[in-house]
Structure 1
Amino acid sequence: MKTCTNILLIVLLVSACASAPEKGIPYNDFPVTEQLSGQTVPLDTAIFRFPYRIRVQGDTVAILDLHASEHFIQLFHYPDFSYIASLGRRGDSPEDMLSAENLRWDGNSLWMLDANKSQLTRYSLSLSGDSLLREEVVSLDKEILRALDFVVYDDSTFIVPDYSGESRFCWINRKGKLLRKMGEIPSVNEEVLRQARPALAQAWRSFIDYNPRNGVLAAVTQLGEVLEIYNLKDSTHVVRIGPHGEPKFKVAEGYGIPTGIMGFCDVQVTDSAIYAVFQGRTFKEITEATQRGDMTDGGWYVYVFSLEGEPLRKYELDHAIYGMFVDGQFRTLFVVDINKDEPMVKFCCNKEKYTLGK
């Protein structure tokens, strides 16, 4: 009788493990796949070392050079990309920047994040519109662990990912003070959740974007294949997990060492859809390619999801890219390809009916 009871207990435990709910909704593929060919866009006077992000506001475009030798930001007119000015000088003086992780437009102001200084700096357009002036510096609360991305929530609040592992996001006021934390890492790795949250947070590093018009905050993982969607208007949260699953890593001396794939590398929330640049190469594949002399870096795919996380379309590109800007008015993708001397590339998507929203 005892043996039967033990067998029944084992069966129940195995059944419970097998049917344990995932912390996300899986997706396997996209209903539509389309190949796109890019057209190089000449840039006036600028030389980039690692063009990483592109942000457009009205008739001005800012391009972030992650490893710039002199200025992290180059400004151009949009859409002809004629040169305007350079800003964000790299250096050690109080007004210089040590690093530049991301940049965001907020009206006529451009915010830049310097993780090494733990500061957000605001530049505003001059009256002539041909330059940006340094107007404000926000030093981030010491409770914030090395912010690597941010979005402007409103005129008094920023949101940054939480790399302590305690939550998913930190809300910060205009003076840099931590207001509150929100969410949790949607991992099924319970052991690491209990014992190595900082390492888990490192492995779950995500790129984020926010659209104030629809209230959607999206986060995509740099490792693995996970998209999170937070609707800050109705407080809903959706997690979509692709075929490569959540970030895979091992813990060594408190750090998360990646063992799976390079995943997403940029995301943009438009008024009607979410766009994400995806790589999908394993670290073994990257190492083997490097040994062959192939240093190509970036993602060959742009994934399109609905604002609720439904897969809509996959674009296969003929360039490996990092940053992108979706121009819904002209149904165009402007992207930066770090592998080319002329890094700006345009993809036209004139056949689209339900994507490429503003």
Structure 2
Amino acid sequence: MKKTLIYLILVFLIGCDSSLKYKDIDYTFTLNAIPEIKPLKAMRMDLGLLLSPVQIFFYDSLLFVSAANQPFNVKVFDTNKDNELIGEIFENGMGPSETLSVFNLIFLDDGTVWVHDVVSTLMKRFLFDIKGDAILVEEIESLAFMNPILSSVYLRNDQFYTTTQAIVPLSRFLVYSREGDEISGVGNYPDYGIEMPPMVAVDVFSGQLISNPQKDKMVLAYEYTDLIELYDEKANLLKRIHGPHQFVPDFDIGDRSGTPYMKRVFNKTQHAYKSLAASEELIFLLYANGKTVKPGEGEASIHHNKVLAIDWEGNPLAFYELDHAVTSIAVDWEKRIIYGLDRIESEVYAFHF
């Protein structure tokens, strides 16, 4: 109880100190430093009835829409065939070739795809093939993570790099082998001069993780601070940038039966990066623009209408202002289209950039 009181005092001081800054920042930037700021107009896609959509993904002209609590977890649409529905895959269940959820799709050059089933804490690899009008998916292998995994990438060294809520070891990433064995914890959490309990830090510094298609580098973008980190395939930090609004996490520490936890606060806790898409040259980040959540906003609070574009050197290149807020993005890099999912309307929108 005494420790929790000390932490509560520290967090009060955070809110009173606007001069807090991160250590070891390579550079900061503002909106004025971004070469292109451009509004984008939404076009609603006719995909038919989408029930309980959660996220979207794009690969090789195919748009994937994952859903919750449906007979199949993913619907697949071919954008080269007038967005025709060509199949439903990953039957909901716990058996072979089934999943309870689809949190991420990681496509490999050998015609297979890793599926992150966050509900069952499994990573499954499937054969993925299209024959005529039919999609073939067949489970090849499966591995279980021993810790709760929030975001993951699979790199060309045959290792999974994951963000986690585990506090032993207290590392930025937990690394797993192809067989699912925990190899090590690597990297450190950012430091802006405030001490906090480990179980609070893992929430305060939660973020979205994605790799480039060649799978030899990755980017981590944070949810409660507009901080972006670029890493190589061994999780060596290459660059850390802060912007465009340069805010640090602002939160309270709650007490749950003697255990401290991060308490997000209405009109106080700011939000940053929420969904990522990456090519070999570019990274697009759906950005909450530093906004806070107001009481009663509900699901509207997870929909945003700004997209920051950077390159793999961390240089900000463009800032797109969408005329329709979305909660998940995917990108057709060849046709220069951002796809955005509106979970409230259960619709997908296309934005030409």
TM-score interval w.r.t. the shorter chain? 0.7 to 0.9
CA 1:209–1:248 in structure 2 vs 1: closer, same or farther (change >3 Å)?
same
Deviation at 1:275, TM superposition (A): 0.9
1:327 aligned onto 2:327: no
Q: Determine if contact 2:97/2:139 at 8 Å carries over to the other structure.
A: no
Within 5 Å, give how 1:109-128 maps onto structure 2. 109-126=112-129, 128=131
Matched, 1:36 2:45: no
**Corresponding letter in the other structure for 2:53:** F
Is 1:245 aligned to 2:232, yes or no?
no
What are the Cα deviations for residues 139-169 of structure 1, in whole angstroms up to 9, with x where unaligned? Answer: 3342xx2112211212732221133251111
Cα distance change of structure 1 residues 214 and 49 upon mapping to structure 2, 3 Å threshold: closer
Counterpart residue number, 1:76: 77
Greater relative CO, 1 or 2 (CA 8 Å, sep 6+): 2
Distance 1:263 1:21 in 2: 16
- Structure 1's consecutive aligned runs of 4 or more residues displaced over 6 angstroms after TM superposition are 18-21
Distance 1:236 1:281 in 2: 24
> Is residue 271 from structure 1 mapped to residue 280 from structure 2 by the alignment?
yes
* TM-aligned CA deviation for residue 46 of structure 1: 4.5
Alignment partner, residue 347 of structure 1: 351
Alignment counterpart, residue 65 of structure 2, candidates 53, 57, 63? 63
Counterpart of 1:338? 343
Contact 2:22 2:191 in 1 (8 A): no
Tell me the distance in 1 between the aligned counterparts of 2:310 and 2:42: 22
1:17-56 pair list within 5 angstroms: 22-24=23-25, 25-29=27-31, 30-43=34-47, 45-56=48-59
Q: Aligned pair 1:133/2:142, yes or no? A: no
Q: Find the partner of 2:263 among 225, 243, 257.
A: 257
Aligned residue identity for 2:238: H
- Which aligned pairs between 1:170-181 and structure 2 lie closer than 5 A? 170-181=174-185
Shift of 1:52: 1.4
Once the 2 structures are TM-superposed, how far is the Cα of residue 21 of structure 1 from its aligned partner?
A: 6.7
Task: Note the alpha carbon deviations across 1:201-256, whole angstroms, 9 max, x for none.
Answer: 12211111101537331111122211111133894521112225233333323322
| Alpha-carbon spacing, 1:311–1:77, altered in 2? closer, same or farther (3 Å) | same
| Structure with more strand by fraction | 2
| Aligned pairs for 1:101-112 within 5 A | 101-107=103-109, 108-112=111-115
Gaps of 5+ in 1: 1-17, 350-358
2:271 corresponds to which letter in structure 1? M
Q: Secondary structure at the match of 1:199?
A: helix
RMSD, matched Cα: 2.7
Deviations 1:35-59 (A, max 9, x none): 010111211x442313312231x24
**In 2 relative to 1, CA 20–206 (structure 1 residues): closer, same or farther, beyond 3 Å?**
closer
Q: Is the 8 A contact 2:122 2:145 kept in 1?
A: no
Write the letter of the residue equivalent to 2:241.
R
Cα pair distance change 1:201/1:225, threshold 3 Å: same
Question: The residue matched to 2:294 in structure 1 has which SS?
Answer: helix
2:199 corresponding residue in structure 1: 198
Q: 236-245 or 85-94: which moved more?
A: 85-94
Instruction: Give the secondary-structure state (helix, strand or coil) at the position aligned to 1:300.
Output: strand
Provide the residue aligned with 2:16 in structure 1: none
With over 3 angstroms needed to count, the CA separation of the structure-2 counterparts of 1:87 and 1:213, relative to structure 1, is: closer
Identity %, equivalent residues: 17
Structure 1 segment 154-173 matched on structure 2, within 5 A: 154=156, 156-165=158-167, 166-173=170-177
Quick one: structure 1 residues 123 and 20, their matched pair in 2 at CA, closer, same or farther if it must change by over 3 Å? closer
